[in-house]
Amino acid sequence: MSSDAAEDDLLPEFDEENPQGYYLVDSQAEMVALSDAVLVAADVRLPVHSQVLSLQSSVLRGMFADFLGASSSGDGEPRVGCKRKAADEEGPLVLEEPFRGCSLYEAVPFLRLCYRPQDVTQAHLAGERASLPALLRLAHKLDAGRILEQVVMHMTESSMDNAAELVTWTEVAEQCQQTDLRLSCVARLVKLLVTKAPGQHMASGITDAAQLEGLDKSTLLLVLGLVTGAGRQLAPKEQLLAYTAPPTADISTAMEQAANPGSYEWRIEQFSQQPSQPGDALRSPWFTAAGREWQLTLYPNGQTIAYQGHISLYLAPKVANDLAVVTFTVCDQSKEQPTDETATFTYKYINTSGRGYADLMSLEKLRARPGCLAGDTLLIRAELLPSERRSSPAAMLEAAVARLEQVTARLEATEARLASIAPGGVAPARAPPPPTAAPAAATAAAAPAPAAASSPGGALADYRQLLSTQLVKVVDAAEAIGGQVLQASRVLAEGFRREEAVVEAIGSCQKPDDAALQQLVHPVGEQIMAAGDLAAGPRSPYQHHFKLVSEAMQSLSWVVYSGPNCGIRLPAQHVEDAASASEFYANKVLVEWRAKDPNHAPWVASIKELLQSLKAFCARHFPAGPTWNANGIPVSQFKPGASAAAGGAAAPAAAAPAAPPAAAAKKPGGPPPPPPPPPPGSLLQERKPAAGAAGAAPAAAAPAGGGNAMAALFADINKGSSVTTGLRKVTDDMKTKNRPDRGGAVPAASAAAGAAGAAASGAKGKAAAAAGPPRVECEQGRKWVVENQVGNREIAIDQTDPKQTVYIYNCSGSTIQVRGKVNAITLDKCSRTGLLFEAVVATCEVVNCTSVDVQCTGTVPTVAVDKVDGCQLYLPRTAMEGGTDVTTAKSSAVNVIVPGATEDADPIESPIPEQYVTRCHGGRWVTEPVAHSGA
């Protein structure tokens, strides 16, 4: 077979009616020949068929002829990515790793376009649209500038007529750093949505809009802005045409309009000991350059396997879509001036939402320059020129939308603050004057609002209304039960009443420092601690009631919210989290007691109503957190009840407060031993020991530090049962029944030694429960990891994706909430831990756990329980309708609770069998659960 004949047979004429036949011929021999050509080009030596040998010379000699001419540097040498088989060998150049990770159907179009550049026309490309994204990726990876430019230039509106392809092209443009190509694709995508016939674009266009799932947040914001009407003026038809290369003046204009240039040096020590697997990332701290915040991300061994052996470097702005010119430099530290071009490697690009280079420099070249790793330290320099101008009119619209959102948030916060300091929640028209005599009721609406210090305000009035209605219902329902449930309910009621003084202080006082706020909320903290003592106390038939009250009282800590980074969520969301956590024990109370005593169901319902009312109260008056009175008095001068006296209305009377349970348990015969010291930074640090207690240490000084002091405040209270780890062990000789005199208090002679031993044993037990540092983080955007959490009931994973998984390991006494839909959840080696999630695509696994609660509020196809001792599985009606499979192995005490037939019906609890009997029937062994007659 001659070379010309092989070439003609391999590359037939193009037929517009059958474009696929040109690019992917059905001939098996041709496919084998092309496959072997790809393998040889990738330098993968494999045996070839005899009929292919005559084709290889022709194919490989012409394969990259035109491509190499466009990809070579000025001196005629090929660029990085190509190499000659031998210096004196004639024949084709072979690419090092051009097609690794690509399929044959993706590589063939690229090989054909390299071999016959005249095929890069509109007609040819229209027939191979499905392979164009892969072709563009290959062109970018191989630095094939001619092919990349021609393919992009020949993209026409007619070849991009559906949202799915546009989304793919947008992702390709992101990877290839083609900023204007990305904007052009987004503009076309918007056109598909806004140019439908009236009344149809919201029906038929939304079908295509479902493809938007693959876009990033900044692109979605851009699409949203263009779809909402303003986009019709900001995206005229001429802007929706085919992509054209950006003029050089754009970069110079951006630099002219840029702010003062800024630079940042990132020094990475012990570089050889950093993670070396592809995908392992190092992130710099957020730094400020040219008035904006940025972050560098470095992959020491490549971002992916395809870039293994290179360092990948990316820069991301904190505010997306900022236009900037950046220069990356890997500094040679052996030079006195590390900016010498012979010692550095500089790259520039236009940044829109965080870009960089996957193959900034090979590790081989990095190690070949000793100055780049002097002292095993890598020095990266980034020089930035941000621009005040956005990259397109659409991006300017996005910036305007962002500014409007900020203004709206400020207006809402201001309105909420004014509503909280004005009578009845009505915001005054102007700033209130200094305190004067209160006007008459008839003219109160027309007169300016008085100062908050002389009026209880709408927030205080609504909170008192909540106490007189919802809280009274809880106490009334508890009185029908009596006993320990009534005792726990009075602790709950006293905590809510004590928080009335805090709400009154918020409207009357200036914002206090951490020490003053700690003293203000100290009475509330005492009741929260009392509820925790009940829940962690000796086993009781009402243990679930105590835990329900303890979880519900965590809602009272909303008053210490001080900002987004304070450690707790916004007040309304924090109350909602407390309500969700208490839902576990509310269901257990209903399952256990509804058949025994019907009075327990109204008690549970009253607590739910109380928490929902508190959530509505916080959302109405304090949506952005407590709004203290800037013109008020200091907290040190505040006296509870002053606002009620000024307003002439006393708070409605409620049930009489009851003494804490610990006080009721005292017996005569001598003072009891002193209580253990509170945890460091606790709300109760100011609590003084009982009079006459021996060995009591003075209370530690209140922390003076920062906005996170109050966040740690209630974290100590929320530790649940682990709060008793500091208690001393009561030995047999210390018990009253074993003492000769049968009475009196235990002497405190060995108090110091006992306290030291208890502390040591408590620390040892805690270390055993949490073998490593606690963490909650998302690894590489694909896997949420929650590890080594002890007594943390505030864990919430909000930013979820159906492609992500959640792995929870070695947690004790904690509650984890997973919002949204995820792919799978695994609960491993946990004890006394609750898991609450909405929806799972695949499986929820519970492995090696003890006494755990798992609740699904949406759907879950399969729940797998393996080596578990005690698991309460709560499934909603939606999960039952969708068909949920529960598989168990080597497990005990596994119960499944599902709702009743109606909303008012009792939940149905079904135990999973643990004992089986195997019998032989007809030659086959059949295993069935054991049935106990007469049960």
Residues 186 and 335 in one domain: no
Residue 734 lies in a domain: no
Query: Would you place residue 607 in the very low, low, confident or very high pLDDT band (cuts 50, 70, 90)?
Result: very high
pLDDT over 50 (residue 350): no
194 three-state secondary structure: helix
Residues 791 and 872 in one domain: yes
CATH number where 921 lies: 2.160.20.70
What pLDDT does 158 receive? 46
Residues 372 and 498 in one domain: no
Query: Would you place residue 349 in the very low, low, confident or very high pLDDT band (cuts 50, 70, 90)?
Result: very low
Mean pLDDT of 512-529: 88
Sign of the C-alpha dihedral computed for residues 789, 793, 795 and 801 taken in this order? positive
Residues 94 and 211 in one domain: yes
Enumerate residues 6+ apart whose C-beta is below 8 A from 494: 527, 657, 658
Query: Would you place residue 596 in the very low, low, confident or very high pLDDT band (cuts 50, 70, 90)?
Result: confident
Residue 427 lies in a domain: no
Q: Which domain holds residue 349?
A: 258-388
Residue 14 lies in a domain: yes
Residues 553 and 637 in one domain: yes
Residue 45 lies in a domain: yes
CB 136 within 8 A of CB 172: yes
**Tokens coding 594:** 């509804």
Residue 15 lies in a domain: yes
Residue by residue, DSSP assigns 332-354 as -TTSSSTT-GGG--EEEEEESS-
Query: Would you place residue 776 in the very low, low, confident or very high pLDDT band (cuts 50, 70, 90)?
Result: very high
pLDDT over 60 (residue 34): no
What pLDDT does 692 receive? 38
Residue 189 lies in a domain: yes
- 179, 328, 675, 780 from 805: Cα distances, Å: 32, 35, 44, 11
Mean pLDDT of 480-508: 90
Residue 226 lies in a domain: yes
Read off the amino acid at residue 76: G
Residue 667 lies in a domain: no
Enumerate residues 6+ apart whose C-beta is below 8 A from 366: 311, 330, 372, 373, 378
Residues 216 and 70 in one domain: yes
Per residue in 708-732, pLDDT tens? 555 565 666 665 555 566 666 777 7
In b/e form, how buried is each residue of 3-13, taking b as 16+ CB within 10 angstroms? eeebeebbbee
Instruction: State the average pLDDT for the chain.
Output: 67
Q: What is the pTM of this model?
A: 0.30
Residues 487 and 367 in one domain: no
Query: Would you place residue 811 in the very low, low, confident or very high pLDDT band (cuts 50, 70, 90)?
Result: very high
Residues 266 and 139 in one domain: no
What pLDDT does 322 receive? 57
Helix axes 179-194, 163-175, angle to 10 degrees: 160
pLDDT over 80 (residue 522): yes
What is the rounded CA–CA span in Å between residue 839 and residue 878?
Answer: 10
Read off the amino acid at residue 422: A
**How many Å from the N-terminal Cα to the C-terminal Cα in the chain?**
88
pLDDT over 60 (residue 701): no
Per residue in 224-264, pLDDT tens? 554 443 333 333 333 333 323 333 323 233 333 333 467 78
What pLDDT does 784 receive? 93
pLDDT over 90 (residue 869): yes
Residues 183 and 295 in one domain: no
Torsions phi, psi of 43, nearest 5?
Answer: 60, 35
Last residue in a domain, options 356, 388, 420? 388
C-alpha count within 13 angstroms, C-beta hemisphere, residue 197: 2
C-alpha count within 13 angstroms, C-beta hemisphere, residue 816: 30
> In 10 A of CB 722, how many CB atoms?
22
Query: Would you place residue 836 in the very low, low, confident or very high pLDDT band (cuts 50, 70, 90)?
Result: very high
Per residue in 645-672, pLDDT tens? 444 444 443 444 444 443 334 344 444 4
Residues 37 and 92 in one domain: yes
The number of domains in the chain is: 4
Enumerate residues 6+ apart whose C-beta is below 8 A from 656: none
Mean pLDDT of 326-345: 60
SS (H, E, C) 291-309: CEEEEEEEECCCCCHHHCC
Residues 72 and 221 in one domain: yes
> In 10 A of CB 676, how many CB atoms?
16
**Tokens coding 897:** 């609770």
pLDDT over 80 (residue 370): no
CATH number where 333 lies: 2.60.210.10
Mean pLDDT of 829-846: 93
Of 580, 602, 481, 484, nearest in space to 535 by CA: 484
DSSP 197: P
Last residue in a domain, options 620, 643, 661? 661
Question: What is the largest distance, in Å, between two alpha-carbon atoms of the chain?
Answer: 116
Per residue in 140-180, pLDDT tens? 665 555 566 566 655 544 455 566 666 666 766 666 666 66
Query: Would you place residue 327 in the very low, low, confident or very high pLDDT band (cuts 50, 70, 90)?
Result: confident
What is the rounded CA–CA span in Å between residue 56 and residue 64?
Answer: 13
Highest mean pLDDT among 2-11, 56-65, 359-368: 359-368
> In 10 A of CB 714, how many CB atoms?
25
Q: How many residues does the chain have?
A: 935
What pLDDT does 918 receive? 92
Mean pLDDT of 93-100: 44
Helix axes 28-41, 104-115, angle to 10 degrees: 80
Last residue in a domain, options 240, 274, 307? 240
Residues 523 and 568 in one domain: yes
